[in-house]
Amino acid sequence: MSTFSGLGTAASALAAARRGMDLAGQNVANQLTPGYTRQRLETSAVAPPASSTRFGPVAGQGVSVDGIARLGDAVLDARVRDTLAASGYWSARAQAAVRAEASLAEPGKNGLADQLSQLWTAWQDLSNAPDSTAAAAAVVTRGETLVARIADGYRSVAEQWSSARDAAELTVDQINAAAAEIAELNAGIREVGVAGGSANELIDRRNLLAQTVARLSGAVGTVESDGTLTLRVDGNALVSGTRARELDVTGPRSIGAGEPVVLAWREPGAPPVGVSSGELAGTLSVLAPAESGGVLAGLAASYNELASSLAATVNAQHRLGSTASGAPGGDFFAVAAGAPAALGLSVVPRGRDELAIAAPGAGALDGGNADALSGIGKRSDGPDALWSDVVSRLAVATSAESGRAARAETTAVAAAAAQQSVAGVDNDEETMSLLTYQTAYQAAARVLTAVDEALDVLINRTGLVGR
């Protein structure tokens, strides 16, 4: 045992305490940094070099700083990623449903149901005054307003579809960028790990990116033994070690195509990727064709169905009547071929002379057929009933989606809170540890002074007997 070993012990204590204070400073400095996980100094006591000397057993050699621990929990991190993926999926769907529902403007004065009702009452007014050109003009105008409203409704759904399509592409770009950065961080973390340094800040940054990727794509992450994070989408690696792959969306760019929008790896001949959670999966399910349950394509198909049903029922009844000149009635609505029915619908008659107001043979000023036309509004298989059904179904679906989104959000918040309760920095705790390390530093300095004084006695005052 060296004479000066006490000085060494005190020096190691001073160094450890200073490190501890530095670390408390780092924790306090980053308490609001997103993704930051609190860190703690890992120390151990240094054992004495020899078990015993001729003066008996000796004390240890001080304290050794072994490392800086990152107080995160990989299980909680994984849970946050899973719940974020579910929440992203349902919130993307719910947002689309809510927006589609708002575009209906039902029930209200601007909704389609009211426009339909107004067409039927206009026919009734015309039935009361078959000789009035004003009443006839009102029927034609009401018809045209209704046609414009149906086309507007269809267009707003088509616009929403296109913006969701753009959003899908943007999401894929975000995923690709984040995956590339995770691969780079993986490389850095592995290098630091091999060199024995602390990669805590890199891991924090990587976890934050992994959360983003999970929320967007539903990717599942695993931490490998070399410290790298592997992210898998649909069972295939998006990020593996230092390598990241890229995703790509392909498919139609407008709602009318009826083809699904497909997610695939950006590699020639790669098979499609099936995603079932994450915002991207939610957006893709919103973009799906009507027969696969896509809410937007379904609503667009409903507009087309309404336009066809309106044209078929009104035209059938209109043809049964006769015009003022006694000629049989023609079509009231025309549906242009080669376009969606909702956009191709138009009103044929221009005025009273072309409207089949009368029942055949009942006289020039009969209003029988106009009355029958106004009765279409009450039919249980008529356009009004069809539209009311569309509104109800969308309302129920939207309500269900919003409920699921809210529940998924609650779960995600709970998971994030659990993660934060382990990883978050607490000011009081850091103050305590700052205080403790400060006291430890003072004590170590006192130890140093004590050893110094003892040595002073030994060196400067020994052998001065009787002087």
Partner 1 sequence: MISRVTSQTLAQSALRNLQSGLSDLARLQNQATSQRAFAAPSDDPAAAAAALDLHAAQRRNDQYARNIGDGLTWVTTVDNAISASTSLLGRARDLTLRGANSGALDANAREAIALELETIADELLAQANTTLLGRSVFAGTAEGSAFGPDFAFAGVPGSEVRRRVADGETVRVDASGAEVFGSGEDSVFALIGSIVADLRGGADVRGRIDQIDDRMNAMLGVQGTVGARQNQIMRAKDAAADATVSLEAQRAAIEDIDTVEVLVALKSQELVYQSALAVTARVMQPTLMDFLR
Q: Which residues bind partner 1 (CB under 8 A)?
A: 31-32, 97-98, 101-102, 104, 106-107, 113-114, 116-118, 120-121, 124-125, 127-131, 358, 361-368, 371, 374, 377-378, 384, 388, 391-392, 394-396, 398-399, 402, 413, 417-418, 420-422, 424-429, 431-432, 435
Cβ 129 to partner 1 shortest distance, Å:
7
Nearer to partner 1 among residue 9 and residue 118 (C-beta): 118
Nearer to partner 1 among residue 117 and residue 198 (C-beta): 117
The radius of gyration computed from the CA coordinates of the chain, to the nearest angstrom, equals 38
AA identity, residue 130:
P
Nearer to partner 1 among residue 250 and residue 420 (C-beta): 420
Cβ 391 to partner 1 shortest distance, Å:
6
In this structure, the number of other CB atoms found within 10 A of the CB of residue 406 comes to: 14
AA identity, residue 301:
A
* Pairing state between β 56-57 and 52-53: antiparallel
ω into 107 cis (within 30 of 0) = yes
Nearer to partner 1 among residue 101 and residue 354 (C-beta): 101
Cβ 101 to partner 1 shortest distance, Å:
6
Nearer to partner 1 among residue 344 and residue 368 (C-beta): 368
CB 286 within 8 A of CB 294: yes
Nearer to partner 1 among residue 123 and residue 265 (C-beta): 123
Strand partners, 337: none
Identify the helix (H) or strand (E) that includes residue 141.
helix 133-195
CA distances from 385 to 279, 301, 391 (A): 35, 16, 10
Q: How far is it, in rounded angstroms, from Cα 106 to Cα 314? A: 23
Which residues neighbour 164 within 8 Å (Cβ) at sequence distance 6 or greater? 96, 283, 286, 287, 296
Nearer to partner 1 among residue 60 and residue 111 (C-beta): 111
- Distance, C-alpha 296 to centroid of its chain: 18
CA distances from 68 to 187, 196, 427 (A): 20, 11, 19
Cβ 365 to partner 1 shortest distance, Å:
5
Tokens of 35: 């993704």
Cβ 421 to partner 1 shortest distance, Å:
4
Nearer to partner 1 among residue 120 and residue 303 (C-beta): 120
Cβ 133 to partner 1 shortest distance, Å:
12
Q: How far is it, in rounded angstroms, from Cα 430 to Cα 222? A: 31
Cβ 415 to partner 1 shortest distance, Å:
12
Nearer to partner 1 among residue 244 and residue 415 (C-beta): 415
CB 314 within 8 A of CB 164: no
Nearer to partner 1 among residue 31 and residue 174 (C-beta): 31
Cβ 398 to partner 1 shortest distance, Å:
4
Q: How far is it, in rounded angstroms, from Cα 379 to Cα 372? A: 11
Cβ 30 to partner 1 shortest distance, Å:
11
Tokens of 61: 């050699």
Q: How close are the terminal C-alpha atoms of the chain, in Å? A: 32
Which residues neighbour 78 within 8 Å (Cβ) at sequence distance 6 or greater? 221
Cβ 126 to partner 1 shortest distance, Å:
11
